[in-house]
Structures are given as C-alpha cells and as structure tokens.
Amino acid sequence: MKKSLLALASGAFILGAAEFVMMGILPQTAFTAMHSTAALSAASSDEKTPVTSGLIVTMTPYTHVPSAAAADYDALLMPDASGATRWRDLLGEETARRIAAGFEAGRKTTLRVNRLKAEPAQIAAALADAGISARRVPWSEDALVLEGAGEAAVAALPMFENGEIYMQSLSSMIPPLVLGAQAGENVLDMAAAPGGKTTQIAALTGGGALITACERNKMRAERLEYNVKKQGASRVTVMNMDARQLDDFFAFDRVLLDAPCSGSGTVTEGSRGQFSREYLDRTVKMQKTLLDKAIRLLKPGHELVYSTCSVLREENEEVVAAALKKGGVQLVPIDTAAFDGVPLLPTDMPGVMCVCPDEWYEGFFVAKMKKSANTKK
C-alpha cells in the first residue's frame, strides 16, 4: 500500500462542507462518519474549546450497495444502536425516497474552470483533445460535467497540474455564486479548506477581492494554501485558526460560512455515514455558534451565505431560523430560477435552496442573509 494511502486510511480527516480533496488516489474508498472520538468529545464538551472543524472520518474499503437500496433508504445512512436517526423520521417518506435514489445514482466527475488562468473554451478544447467529453451546466459557463472520465484521469492532465481547472462538486459551486462578492471587497471564508470556494470567489472577482480564508486543522490549512497558490489566487490570506477565534474588531463586506456538517448530502453508492442524535446535536450547536460569529464579523447592511452539504433540517433551516429569531439579520431570497436544472427539495423556508442529490449534484443547502444597516458592529 502506498504511504500516502496508508496515511489516509489510518488517520482521521476533517471534511469541510461539501467539497472533496480530490487527489485521484482513492477511487475505491468510502467514508464512515464517526461521532465518538476522544478529540471530538473533549472539544465539544467545552463551549470555549473549538469543536473539531468538520466531520471526522476514517477511510474504509468500498462496499457496493445493491440497487434494491433505493427502496431501502435506511440502509444507506444507518442509525446508531438506539435507532435515533432514520431518514424517514427526519425527512418524511417521499423526500427520503428521492434522496436515496440520488445516492444510488452515483456521481459524475465535475470541475470548475479557473478564470484566473484559463477560459472555458480553451479548457473545453483541451479536454476534447484528451478524448474527454464535457457538458456545460446551464447556470455557469465555468462548471463542466465529464462523461466517462474519473478523477484520476483528470488529475493526470496538465491543465489540472497547472491550476487551470479545479475538481469541485457542482453543488459546492453554488454558494460563491449566491454570495456575489465584488472586486475591492473584503471577504471572509470561515471554513475554507480545501479551497474550492475560496479560489472560486477569487476567480469570480477577477482576483480583485481581498479574501481571508480560515481553517482550524493544520494539515487542511496547508492543503488550502497549496490550492490557493496553485490556482493563482494571490490576494488570499490563509489563517490556520478557528474563525470563531477572530477578534470582533474585524469587519467584512461579505462572509461565506460553508459550515462543517454531517455530510448527509454527500452519501454515494458504496459509502455509508453513521452518526447518532448526540453527534448531530453537537454539530448543530457548533453550526449555530459559527453563524452567530459570522453575523458579528459582517458589516451592517452587508450579506453572508450559510451553506452545508447536508439535507437535514436540523443543520439547515433550523440553524438559519435560530439566527433570524435573534434579530439583526434578515433572509435574502435566492433566485433559484438562475440555477436552471438544479434539482431542489421541498422546504418550508421560502428563499433558501435545498439541493437534492442525483448523478450530477450532492445534497446541499444554501441560505443568504443580510445584516440590518442599523445594527451596531
């Protein structure tokens, strides 16, 4: 076994919301979410101690999920011994079945053209020359879905090595677009690793935004810095720290909080996530504290985006509702028509986006909020 693979398999990794560290060396592995580790228990028991930034996972051998799993959706995300967490109990019968079908569909390799280094037409031509067929999504010229090419094949291309493209899920490209950062603005990415959204914001602003990218985990912060440099995002400052520890003296024009979560929207054929009600409660508590901090760091009259790669209300609508209830912010409706073709799940919170997993998309949640202009910093 390669040393790099052995390190991944034996270590615990921390996943930010909805992005993969796509290195092309794990084509047949899957994750198992672990809610009970000594580090997580110790950290989450103390509010002042930052909870581990994201989902702690270990790499386990790929296990095929038979097609019958679409009807038996509880088998895709197993409850703990108490049976506290079950899809249909949390989501309802019909929604759970749609999500399970999306999990079983698998997911195609997707990538984003890095406008700091290349143009979509240039990348499309280079992919064609490499014998790779690519389809553009309706809502972004930069987002491509590959046909018949896996991550390993893409990672071997010069355009990947040069940082002209970035392998990124389609769903995770939505929050930076909704954020709408502009050149000249100060932007905070609170849970930034491995860097897909950070570098996307840089590209969307033509490299003109001043971006602060926080990542608590040292190894992931190093990966973030590597990707930032590789993508040519020169106006990004990487901070190896928990964003909740930033002094409230700081004030940002826009804030992106792609919060650490259960990863319940990213299950694919062959992967199973296990988490308990206790784990979910701890994660939600962390998400609420992160969102509270995001609001404090945001300038009055300005906007932030909260997102997760989860399909659970507890981590999504209920976290946003708790922030709205405290006052000082209001929901900014997202124009979902601008994201033609994105499969959406039902929600009782008008103006947010709940993306349903399928062969193109991960399950994802996106909400936009604006801080009241008369709120004190």
**158-194 tens-digit pLDDT:** 999 999 999 999 999 999 999 999 999 999 999 999 9
- pLDDT value of position 233: 97
For the domain 110-167, what is the CATH superfamily, name and number? Sun protein; domain 3 (3.30.70.1170)
- DSSP state, 351? T
**273-323 tens-digit pLDDT:** 556 778 889 999 999 999 999 999 999 999 999 999 999 999 999 999 999
The per-residue pLDDT of the chain, averaged, comes to 80
Report the candidate in 181, 198, 177, 202 with the shortest Cα–Cα distance to residue 189.
Answer: 198
3-class secondary structure, 299: strand
What's the rounded Cα separation, in Å, for the pair 117 and 164? Answer: 5
Provide the residue ranges of all domains of the chain, joining segments of one domain with +: 12-107+169-377, 110-167
What's the rounded Cα separation, in Å, for the pair 375 and 362? Answer: 35
Q: What pLDDT band is residue 32 in, cutting at 50, 70 and 90?
A: very low
More confident of the two residues 238 and 86: 238
| Structural domain 12-107+169-377, CATH architecture | 3-Layer(aba) Sandwich (3.40)
Instruction: Indicate whether 372 pLDDT > 80.
Output: yes
**195-231 tens-digit pLDDT:** 999 999 999 999 999 999 999 999 999 999 999 999 9
3-class secondary structure, 212: strand
The helix-helix angle for 218-230 and 196-204 (nearest 10°) equals 30
Location of structure tokens 């990348």: 123
Enclosing H/E stretch for 306:
strand 298-308
Catalytic residues: 309
| Residue 78 CB burial class (10 angstroms; 0-12, 13-18, ≥19) | middle
3-class secondary structure, 329: strand
Instruction: Indicate whether 254 pLDDT > 70.
Output: yes
